[in-house]
Chain A
Amino acid sequence: MGRSFGTGEFLFLLKAIPSTLLLSLGALAGGAIVGFFIAILRIAPSRPLRWLATGYIGLFQGTPVLMQLFVTYYGLAVLFNIQVDAWSAVLLAFSLYSGAFLGEIWRGSIEAIPRAQWEAAACLSLSFPKQLWYVILPQAARISIPPTVGFAVQLIKNTSIAAIIGFVELTRAGQLMTNTTFKPMIVYPIVAALYFILCWPLSLLAQTLERRIDAALGLKQHF
């Protein structure tokens, strides 16, 4: 009953890893762009802009990722009459999702910079954009690295949800393998192990970076 699970089947799983990583990287890149604007909006002087960003973050942090995928996929078809392929829909949905989380992380990083730094920069006659560019953002960027790496781990795990709408990445590959080999006791633990190999080093990296940056700048962002 079913194929046996051998090297060929294992390779099939391995070949799905690039899809997982590519989707994660793409969503991280897309999310970085969205997140940058969200972070800036969150600290904007205008209240409506701040509310907009807060609402966006609240929406993506208060709804399931799976629902976000569904709404994006069907929403694109319905609102813009575009029949998108799985890649585009999933990439867009995960980018918007990442943007909310990254925006919140980066806003937190900016707000972790003491007010005194803003004052010192302003008193050197620097305009607000220049204060941000030369003084605040370089420091905020350093602090934001550990939580951003931590979010990357979260993202890699969440790409598994794309399997539910049929997108072929590592988890879906696992489902397909289980359906042909009928050996869930072998396939899924191996899939878990593969995710572990991808995620655990990044988790450790995030923890190490947090310790080092904390020592260097004397600032810590608590999550």
Chain B
Amino acid sequence: MNYVFQFNVVWEHLPELLEGALLTIQLSATAMALGLCVAVVCAYGKSSGPRPVHWLVAAYVELIRNTPFLVQIFIFYFSLPVIGLRLTANTAALVAMTVNLGAYASEIIRAGIEAIPHGQVEAARALGLKRVQIFRFIIIFPAVKTVYPALASQFILLMLSSSVVSTISAVELTAITNSLASTTFRSFEFYFVATGLYLAIALGFRGGLSAIYWAVFQRGRAA
């Protein structure tokens, strides 16, 4: 091996890499929040909504889950302008990530909803609660608590897949790493460190999500 590693070059550009990491975190967190809303609505629609809504959501979910994320991004960024909807790269990235997460998360949450013992729903109905109220108070909280690990894993996956939005020139960690690697010709070192940064972000997200679980679901609440 006659290659000389020059990680000091990476060290010099660390601030830019960290800025990229921050952008990745912001992009992912926003997409998580929005995607979760989409997911809850879709889960409700598919499990308790009228038949047409059920099929619409089912089609949405199957479409997203059986096509690559990269192609979904291309459609949002390159195909939509043709019909007049022109999004900036970062906006297209956010929309694509939200739509993607929404599909996967809605299935996960739907599984949690179906795990709620039917007796609880019947009891709520007997008490005269309306459907939306039942969903809001009896169903969604325990459902999310049950499927939280699966949901957390899906969030991490989303954050990792954000690296692909670099192809449409959205600005995040991978895009910044690409440009640094190509200008300094130290590709291996930069990609190696960037990979480490992603790993750190993933671990951080795991910790953060665990903390959220503890704060929301386990502080002496009778769930």
Chain A residues close to B by CB (< 8 Å):
59, 62-68, 70-71, 74-75, 77-81, 153, 157-158, 160-161, 163-164, 171, 174-175, 178, 183-185, 188-189, 191-192, 195-196, 199-200, 203, 223
**CB–CB B198/A62 < 8 A:** yes
Residue of B nearest to A81 (CB): B1
Within 8 A of A (CB), among B154-191: 156, 160-164, 166-167, 174, 187-188, 191
Shortest distance from the beta carbon of B14 to any chain A beta carbon, whole Å = 17
Q: Contact at B66–A67, with CB atoms within 8 Å?
A: no
Candidates A71, A175, A183, A195; contact of B188 at CB < 8 Å: A71
Within 8 A of A (CB), among B175-212: 187-188, 191-192, 194-195, 198-199, 202-203
> Main SS of chain B's interface residues?
helix
- B contact residues, range: 35 or more
- Helix, strand, loop or mixed for chain A's interface? helix
B1-A79 in contact (CB<8A): yes
B106 interface residue (CB < 8 Å to A): no
Chain B, 51-79, contact with A by CB distance < 8 Å: what is the 0/1 string?
Answer: 00000000000110111111110110011
* Residue contact A196 to B70, C-beta cutoff 8 Å: no
Known: A62-B198, A67-B195, A163-B70. Is A188-B164 also a contact (CB below 8 A)?
no
Given contacts A62-B199, A184-B82, A200-B62, whether A171 and B70 have CB atoms under 8 Å apart is yes
Residue of B at shortest CB range from A202? Answer: B66
Q: Give how many A-B residue pairs fall within 8 Å (CB-CB).
A: 122
> What separation, in Å, do the CA atoms of A184 and B80 have in the docked complex?
8
Q: Is B222 an interface residue (CB 8 A)?
A: no
* B8: Cβ under 8 A from any A Cβ: no
Q: Is the CB of A185 within 8 A of B82?
A: yes
A65 to B68, CA, bound (A): 13
Identify the B interface with A (CB < 8 A). Answer: 1-3, 62-63, 65-72, 74-75, 78-79, 81-83, 150, 156, 160-164, 166-167, 174, 187-188, 191-192, 194-195, 198-199, 202-203
What are 25 inter-chain pairs, A to B, with CB distance below 8 A? A59-B199, A62-B156, A62-B198, A64-B162, A64-B174, A64-B195, A71-B188, A74-B188, A78-B188, A80-B1, A157-B67, A161-B68, A163-B70, A164-B70, A174-B71, A174-B74, A184-B78, A185-B82, A188-B74, A188-B79, A191-B71, A192-B63, A192-B67, A199-B67, A203-B66
Contact B69–A157 (Cβ < 8 Å): yes
List of A residues within 8 angstroms of B198 by Cβ: 62-64, 67
When C-beta atoms are compared, the residue in chain B nearest to A197 turns out to be B66
CB distance B160 to A188 under 8 Å? Answer: no
Contact A67 B163 (CB under 8 A): yes
Give Cα A70–Cα B202 distance, bound, in whole angstroms. Answer: 19
The listed residue (A64, A79, A178) touching B164 by CB distance below 8 A is: A64
Q: A159 to B191, alpha carbons, bound, how many Å?
A: 19
